[in-house]
Amino acid sequence: MVYSKNNELNSALDNNLVRQYRPRILFSAINGGSGKTFITSGVIAALSARGLKVQTFKKGPDYIDSKWHALASGRKCYNLDLYLFKDHVISSLFEKSADADLSIIEGNHGLYDSIDSEGLGSTAFLARHTQTPVILIVNCHKMSRSVAAMINGFVNFEKDTKIAGVILNQVSGKRHEDKILEAIEINCSVEVLGVVYKTNSVNLEQRHMGIITTEDKPEVKDVMKKLQNIAEESIQIDKLIEIANQTQPLIYHRQNKIMESVNVIVRKEKSITIAVARDAAFNFYYPDNLEALENEGANLIYFSPISDATIPKADGIYIGGGYPEIYALELSRNLNMKKSIFNLCENNLPIFAECGGMMYMSEKIIWNDIEHEMVGTIKGNSVMHKKPQGKGYVELIRENNAIDKPTLWEIPDGTISRAHEFHYSVLENLAENTDLIFTMKRGAGIINHHDGIIYKNLLATYTHFHSLASPWWAPAFVNACQKNKDNR
């Protein structure tokens, strides 16, 4: 089979418009929990095993599914988010897939689910926005002929959404399969591209924030091999390649400054070093964020708050989200690490602590009435609850008049950011003199619809920022590190 070369420029439409081939398909489903990540990861692994360069993308704010895609492809998985950075979606898809043979996008929730009634934030809208054909995954558990009715409903709901094929999941056996296929053949115009039996399921365990992360699955490579084998045996991989290669070229505007800024990146000379916490407890990082720090002139080095004794020499620290509550015992026992971070913060080292990182910087993590001592810089306790205490998109504004204490974090007054939050914990018994610099126009934040604890040069938030939606973030972080380095 001959594959399209994605990096070949097709033609210039005029001086400002260019179109270029980027073979791509998008996997979606009837509803969440239908097996999207299970099937998508297997297909990615199967394509990669054939020697293809597969660039993966995940719709919406997500860290966990992206890890499985990155493992399957051997490449970073990037996010495409219509709410956070709609103007960057095409440019990001265009740039990140430049050297790939094809791209795989995984949607979120059901195909037409959206935060608004018009569906402007749906996976279907993303498919139309990027002109990407959809492969619809249908969980057939306890259904037969009704599967055909559901498929027709999805095909006809928004007819400009191109559903190029369906994959049937959770099929109980040959008899069940025959009934469903007959109903689809009689009543539907869409092609069935795969049938995955229940017996082929691989258990990707669930916990309170989604499926288990790759860091927490010791046999992760074996699991991925099983997913690959299931995809190769149950799904028409060659047909998926054919559909991807028939996709319309992406069209972009040369004159669009957003496009130019993304595709022609001027990387600053490396001048400062940021130590990034990365282990089983802290591993929620967007590749775009890390790359944005590097583009601003930061050299990134990595350390483990669980197992390392001290912080490597650096001009700043980035502690992202993750599962510190699950590893609270191990984190609490690493006294040298906690003391090292505490002292560095007291000595004005710039630190960005995001969600799980903020929990680590508090005095204690409390879960099921079990208390574990953390770093202790933030005077308050991170108390876990059974239900989410903040979940979804947020919008927040920077208010400089919120504090009158000096800090190296320079964020322009009135800066509005779209971002997201997802946390089961609440900061309780927070000290009354705690300074918070963000007001939440939408979202929960830390307390009373405020977020962003500032203490010396520590900025700690429940909010997860994405560099494409919050272009101030990487420059502000790197500049704080540079100023502190210069002061020393």
Instruction: Extract the tokens encoding 8.
Output: 């070949």
Please, how many CA atoms are within 13 Å of residue 159, restricted to the half-sphere of its CB?
2
Q: Which CATH superfamily is domain 9-253 in?
A: P-loop containing nucleotide triphosphate hydrolases (3.40.50.300)
Domains in the chain: boundaries: 9-253, 268-487
The pTM score is 0.92
Q: What is the pLDDT of residue 340?
A: 97
Instruction: Extract the tokens encoding 297.
Output: 């002139």
- Based on its alpha-carbon atoms, the radius of gyration of the chain, rounded to whole angstroms, reads 23
The label of the residue with tokens 């895609």 reads 69
Residue 486, exposed/middle/buried by CB under 10 A (0-12, 13-18, 19+)?
Answer: exposed
The label of the residue with tokens 């040298």 reads 336
Q: Using the predicted structure, report yes or no on whether residue 265 has a pLDDT greater than 70.
A: no
Catalytic residue among 77, 140, 355, 481: 355
Q: What is the pLDDT of residue 215?
A: 66
Q: CATH number of 268-487: 3.30.470.20, 3.40.50.880, 3.40.50.300, 3.30.110.60?
A: 3.40.50.880
Q: What is the pLDDT of residue 313?
A: 96
Bridge partners of 29, per DSSP, are 137
The label of the residue with tokens 């049938």 reads 195
Catalytic residue list contains 345:
no
Q: Which long-range contacts (CB under 8 A, 24 or more apart) does 260-269 make?
A: 262/88, 262/91, 262/92, 262/95, 263/91, 263/94, 263/95, 265/295, 266/295, 267/294, 267/295, 267/297, 268/295, 268/296, 268/297, 269/297
9-253 and 268-487 have identical folds: yes
Confidence grade of residue 488 (pLDDT, cut at 50, 70, 90):
confident
Q: Using the predicted structure, report yes or no on whether residue 15 has a pLDDT greater than 80.
A: no
Residue-wise pLDDT for 386-413, tens only, equals 999 999 999 999 986 657 678 999 999 9
Please spell the DSSP secondary structure of 167-217, one letter per residue: EEEEE-SHHHHHHHHHHHHHH--SPEEEEEEGGG-----EETTEEPPGGG-
CB 138 within 8 A of CB 167: yes
Residue-wise pLDDT for 297-349, tens only, equals 999 999 999 999 999 999 999 999 999 999 999 999 999 999 999 999 999 99
Residue-wise pLDDT for 464-474, tens only, equals 999 999 999 99
